[in-house]
C-alpha cells in the first residue's frame, strides 16, 4: 500500500506537467490558426 502512495506522487507530478504542456501546445496551435487567418487578410506578411 505504501508503494501506492509513491506511485501516486510520481504519477501526479507527471500528469500535472503533461497537462500544462498540453495547454501550451493547444494555445500554440490556436495561435497558428490565428496567424493563418491574419495572413489571409494581408495584415501579417
Partner 1 sequence: MKKLFPIFGALTAILLVYALCMALVPGRMSIFGIPLGEGAPTEQTMGDVQRIFYYHVPSAWTAFLLFFINFGASIYYLATRKSAADIVALVCAEVGVVFCTVVLITGPIWARPVWGIWWTWDMRLTSTLVLWLIYVSYLFLRRFSAGGQTPLLAAALAVLGALCVPFVYFSIWFFRTQHPQPVMGGGGSIDPRMMHALLINWLAFSCFAFLVCWSRYRLEKLQRDVDEAHALESLLDPRGSTR
| Residues making contact with partner 1 (CB under 8 A) | 1-3, 5-6, 8-10, 12-13, 16-17, 20-21, 24, 27-28, 31, 34-35, 38, 41, 43-44
Assigned C-alpha cell, 22 = 498540453
- Name the minimum Å distance from CB 1 to partner 1: 8
Q: 39 CB contacts (<8 Å, ≥6 apart)?
A: 45
Instruction: Compute the least distance from the CB of residue 2 to partner 1, in Å.
Output: 5
- E strand map for 1-45: none
DSSP state of 23: H
Beta carbon of residue 43, minimum distance to partner 1 (angstroms, whole number): 5
Amino acid at each position: 500500500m505504501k508503494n501506492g502512495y509513491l506511485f501516486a506522487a510520481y504519477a501526479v507530478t507527471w500528469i500535472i506537467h503533461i497537462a500544462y504542456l498540453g495547454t501550451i501546445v493547444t494555445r500554440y496551435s490556436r495561435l497558428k490558426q490565428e496567424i493563418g487567418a491574419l495572413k489571409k487578410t494581408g495584415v501579417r506578411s
